Amino acid sequence: MVSEPQKLNASERKAKAMEMCSSGQVKMIDFKFTDVPGTLQHISYPSGRMCEDLLKDGVGFDASSIRGFAHINESDMLLIPDINTAIMDPACKIPTMSVFCDVREPINGQRYEKDPRFIAQKAEKHLKDTGVADTSYFGPELEFFVFDSIRYEQNQHSGFYYIDSDEGIWNSGNNVNGTNHGHRPRNKEGYFPVPPTDSLQDFRSQCVLNLMNAGIDCEVHHHEVATAGQCEIGMRFQTLCKMADQVMLYKYVLKNTAAAMGKTVTFMPKPLFGDNGTGMHVHQSLSKDGTNVFYDADGYSMLSQTALYYIGGLLEHSAALLALTNPSTNSYRRLVPGFEAPVNLVYSQRNRSAAVRIPVYSKSPKAKRIEYRPPDSTSNPYLAFSAMLMAGLDGIKHKISPGEPHDMDMFELSKEELAKIKTVPGSLEKALESLESDNDFLRQGDVFTKDFIDGWVDYKIHKENDYIRLRPHPSEFYLYFDA
């Protein structure tokens, strides 16, 4: 049950899944869902449990043990499998069917408001209710690092991390058993070299095959700019919730493929000092009755006025938006000038130094889209995609102008010129403060609730921001120990 079910309708997929379980082709069923911060969780049952009642009634779990979910006095929750997402799990040796689930309240049967997948589905419904469009398409570019080793520790009296990659330029002088192959990408020179400098060609190809076997349509893979194994695998665009499902599956497949090959994958935005960080540039467009509402042959870069207002919403709300699209303290190690990071809140065609880029590879009306470049993969994709859509729709609703395009290289502007351009927040704390004061656009249509936003801010401040803020940094010993 891999690529074939993509051609089946819902009832046919359900019948196929049930038949595979009853015939013994599948030994286990794995129910997957995503916690609030954005980590995939799961619970497994023998395939003999698969029946109509299970699909309808779901399986119980302790939601108080899941980050960001329920308190202990309301811990009982249900996972309702979405059989349309069923695939054969590519990471399991025992034949296992993997299914994404929705979370429901067991008392009243209603959807659980803190389930990230529910928020994404509400965002899709809200889009239809506006009448602006009926479908939102998202195409994220997830960059990642492939390392050979990672060690880290943090306690009261010590803290360190140690990364190693045979591809890392820092290994150019190593003499291991008298050999050193010498082909490594230098800092900021890792974009598109062939093997042997690109040592991860076969690794990425294996990832692509595994992703395609899991039903994800892949378009391209390549080495990225940084040394030490920075890579990217491109997925074909999908509708909002489906793409969020695919992002979770993408990360799952890549991490497990790496583990099977003796490597490790990280989606941290800035694991290496002094080289490019890792982003998740998100392409997006809106469609109504099969027509791309972002296209206008006579508009700037063939963009419609609707698309420009959408950009205006993204730029207007970016400070708050980044609390959901860039929700880690590490996110803001990447968002600094000089490493191709999109810190300037402007838009432009072709220009990768702008927060919003309009790709110009194709003149096809169907291909016209915008690319929002600040996000990274520490975000929960269900929340990040929903928040971007809501910001864009608010721009359309209030006709927010994005201003004039900036087609120059903003990294080359003078200090005086740069001072006139708004930039992204410089820290997670600043982004969370912006979210607290600017969240009405997220709460339209009850997509994000006030309780959810308040809980998100509280969790990020006390569980993550303060965790970093209160601890001595190793570099502080380098700077200040001899004070």
237-287 residue pLDDT tens: 999 999 999 999 999 999 999 999 999 999 999 999 999 999 999 999 999
> How many domains in the chain?
2
454 domain-assigned: yes
**319 & 351 share domain:** yes
DSSP category for residue 160: E
Rounded distance between C-alpha atoms, residue 430 and residue 65, angstroms: 29
Summary mean pLDDT of the chain = 93
Rounded distance between C-alpha atoms, residue 95 and residue 79, angstroms: 21
Give the pLDDT confidence score for residue 7 in this predicted structure.
64
- Active-site residues, by number, are 62, 141, 143, 224, 232, 281, 352, 371, 373
Please give the residue range of the domain that contains residue 370: 135-480
81 domain-assigned: yes
254 domain-assigned: yes
Residue 351 clears pLDDT 80, i.e. is over it = no
**357 & 434 share domain:** yes
**8 & 52 share domain:** yes
32-56 residue pLDDT tens: 999 999 999 999 999 988 888 888 8
Phi, psi of 430 (to 5 degrees): -65, -40
Give the pLDDT confidence score for residue 5 in this predicted structure.
45
**155 & 296 share domain:** yes
CATH number (domain holding residue 203): 3.30.590.10
No. of helices (H) and no. of strands (E), the chain:
15, 18
**140 & 108 share domain:** no
190-206 residue pLDDT tens: 999 999 999 999 999 99
Mean of pLDDT values over 335-355: 83
Q: Where are the alpha helices (DSSP H) in 196-345?
A: 201-213, 240-260, 305-316, 318-325, 331-334
Mean of pLDDT values over 144-164: 95
In sequence order, the 6+-apart residues with CB closer than 8 A to the CB of 379 are: 38, 280, 324, 325, 326, 327
In three-state secondary structure terms, 88 is strand
User: Among 81, 112, 143, where does a domain finish?
Assistant: 112
**188 & 100 share domain:** no
**175 & 301 share domain:** yes
Model confidence, pTM: 0.95
> Is the CB of residue 68 less than 8 Å from the CB of residue 37?
yes
**214 & 291 share domain:** yes
Residue 93: which of 137, 30, 175 has the closest Cα? 30
pLDDT tier, 398 (very low <50, low <70, confident <90, very high otherwise): very high
CATH number (domain holding residue 49): 3.10.20.70
Mean of pLDDT values over 153-170: 94
